[in-house]
Amino acid sequence: MTLYDCADTDQRAQGIAAAASAARSGRLVVMPTDTVYGIGADAFDSAAVAALLAAKRRGRDMPVGVLVGSWHTIEGLVVAVPDAAHELIRAFWPGALSLVVRQAPSLQWDLGDARGTVMLRMPLHPVAIELLREVGPMAVSSANTSGQPPAVDAAEAHRQLGDLVDVYLDAGPSAQQAASTIVDLTAATPRILRVGPVSAEAIGTVLGMAPAELTA
């Protein structure tokens, strides 16, 4: 296990290179995001995703979301990008909004029992974006063991996950210190599954819906 202080320019470069190498080799990394710290793996490495779930002591019934490093990446990951997704991406990405959409059936990945869906987000954090652009889409979940609070700094992530993770990227405390808002776009009407930093009012304004319609 190695921890890199991303406030130091040299350590940040070394850390991102080490984390990218680890992810490509099927190992786990801890990365900062704008919401909370995440434990991540190459999204297309099923064994690594299984190791991620095991590290969190979490079952396949709670599939792992995917972080991307650019808006355009999602085009190859979904059946079709719904109009609502386009509008929300323009308004809130990069940022603290996760979108559940229908995944492209051709994708060779196993994120858990996702039933043909995938949860996508582009985080608002320079270290996360740099790593994602090196590795590609990463399966990322909050850096904690199941039932414990999500880690909002690298020290707390290490306390919970220890040597199960190869590389820790420390970029100081998370800005939001709260998990992302989740919107499900797989049905006819968008629905908020988890309230977070992006409010129902803000989402409703973009989609032309009342907040009560989104949370019903």
pLDDT value at residue 108 = 87
Range of the domain at 91: 2-213
Kindly report, residue by residue over 173-213, the tens digit of the pLDDT: 999 999 999 999 999 999 999 999 999 999 999 999 999 99
Per the structure, how many domains does the chain have? Answer: 1
Kindly report, residue by residue over 92-150, the tens digit of the pLDDT: 999 999 999 999 998 989 999 999 999 999 999 999 999 999 999 999 999 999 999 99
Kindly report, residue by residue over 52-96, the tens digit of the pLDDT: 999 999 999 889 999 999 988 888 899 888 999 999 999 999 999
Q: Please report, for the domain that includes residue 192, its CATH number.
A: 3.90.870.10
pLDDT value at residue 67 = 98
pTM (2 decimals)? 0.96
CA quadruple 208, 201, 141, 62: dihedral sign: negative
